[in-house]
A and B are shown apart, each in its own frame.
Chain A
């Protein structure tokens, strides 16, 4: 009797383990896995949004077509990830030397309530001079994020304040506005710089 109970427990435990494994498989690799949605950014030529750069000039996706482009999302009240991305990018641009001058480099805020044109101007001034800061109305920021397939979300914090979760990848486009590749957050320079060079070279190919 005792032995049977023990066996019963064993079988139940095994069954539970099997079920857990099955559920795990179902959700990660099986039919229940989230679909690999079309998560690649649209070509810049198919995007549509109106924003303002940190010098007060009206800008949109068409502003970027004609030169290779690097775009990323963030917010200036971000103490860790955003300054790190901005200094990473500044470092990549330094490594590119003169070629950096041929690129558009744009930081789009996901927190336009706090990141006014003035706030953006003050902030980008501390990083590489090629970096432009774009802000604008909430609905236009939302349209921009949609075009880049970027996401963001406002999250309240303890002190009655809020922080923003946001896509931290850097998007690369060729001069024609086609998406080339993405640089993940904090990707080492030896991987990031060749990716940028590729976006720069596609411009040359396109021109011939």
Chain B
């Protein structure tokens, strides 16, 4: 295992700063009202919800999510058709226009957390990183509410 030396750290910091300057869009992303439901054990997938707001002047595209909590996190979308049948599928990339927001809410878009590494316990929270097409990341802390929670207020 190599230790990070001070010059290396300096280089990394410079790199981070430089890439930060090069970003277009994702630095203007603000995430509000993040929440998730507690899980029963680790066998069932979890779900997290939030509002992803683009306060910038350019469209941003959410390309993926990651979290130490789950091996396979993915944005999914639930849909209910005219016959009342619900289905769920990966949502793919999500583009958010300037001044608009993507709403991840029950019954629609959600962060589906597959292959949980540990149970989601009410009262805990976990980091969730959103990755954007400009190379920028936004990490949010997602509070875990009860299984029967209906919104960020519980």
Contacts and interface: CB of A to CB of B under 8 A. Distances in A.
Interface of A: 39, 76-81, 83-84, 86-88, 90-91, 122-123, 126-127, 151, 155, 157-159, 161, 163, 165-169, 182, 184-186
Contacts of B44: 76-77, 79
A122 B83 CA distance: 30
A86 B146 CA distance: 13
B148 A90 contact: yes
Interface residues of B, number: 31
Nearest to A77: B44
Which of B40, B86, B115, B146: most chain A Cβ within 10 A?
Answer: B86
B84 A80 contact: no
A133 to B, nearest CB: 13
B107 interface: yes
Interface string B107-123: 10010111100000000
A127 B148 contact: yes
A83 B72 contact: no
A186 B106 contact: yes
Nearest to A76: B44
Given A83-B37, A127-B148, A77 B106 contact: no
Nearest to A151: B85
Contacts of B113: 79
B110 A80 contact: yes
A185 B88 CA distance: 14
B63 interface: no
B86 A166 contact: yes
A86 B147 CA distance: 10
B107 A81 contact: yes
A159 B114 contact: yes
Given A79-B44, A86-B148, A182-B84, 7 more contacts: A81-B78, A84-B150, A158-B72, A165-B85, A165-B87, A186-B106, A186-B107
B135 interface: no
A33 B122 CA distance: 48
B128 to A, nearest CB: 14
B130 to A, nearest CB: 18
25 contacts: A79-B47, A80-B76, A80-B88, A80-B107, A81-B80, A83-B47, A83-B147, A84-B106, A86-B148, A90-B148, A123-B40, A127-B148, A158-B74, A158-B90, A159-B72, A159-B115, A161-B114, A163-B88, A167-B84, A168-B84, A169-B84, A184-B80, A185-B107, A186-B80, A186-B106
B46 interface: yes
A167 B85 contact: yes
B64 interface: no
Interface string B34-50: 00010010011111000
A186 B78 CA distance: 12
Contacts of B47: 79-80, 83
A155 B87 CA distance: 9
B80 A168 contact: yes
Given A80-B78, A81-B88, A126-B147, A151 B83 contact: yes
B112 A79 contact: yes
A83 B148 contact: yes
